[in-house]
Amino acid sequence: MSNTHNRYTKEFKDRAIRMFQETRPDCPSDTAAMIKVAELLGVGTPETIRNWVQQAEVDAGIRAGTSSEESAEVKRLKREVAELRRANAILKAASAFFAAELDRPGA
């Protein structure tokens, strides 16, 4: 899995979003404004700008969806759950090992 999410800084993304908002009134459509901003900033595709703009709208409460903060919390909780599952598996294995040791004759 490539790490493309950190390719651009938050400041760069914020700048692109501001440029889109400033450029939009002068363009015939959102898509045209996104294409223009992507070209001006050298961003791979206008789709990238669209994603950033939509996420900014979600974060601002303008659009429905999962905010960046909620998404980060879900990721953190998933990592925590995975860590706890690993710890439980280790504890179960250790428990079974020690139970077997106690059950052996002459121990």
Residues 31 and 82 in one domain: no
Tell me the DSSP string of the chain. ----TTSS-HHHHHHHHHHHHHHGGGSSSHHHHHHHHHHHHT-S-HHHHHHHHHHHHHHHTSS-S--HHHHHHHHHHHHHHHHHHHHHHHHHHHHHHHHHHHHSTT-
Kindly state whether residues 34 and 85 are assigned to the same domain.
no
Total-model pTM: 0.69
Number of domains composing the chain: 2
56 lies in the same domain as 79: no
What does the pLDDT look like over 96-106, one tens digit per residue?
999 888 888 76
For residue 30, give its domain range.
Answer: 1-65
pLDDT tens, 51-92?
A: 999 999 999 999 999 999 999 999 999 999 999 999 999 999
**Same domain, residue pair 61 and 91:** no
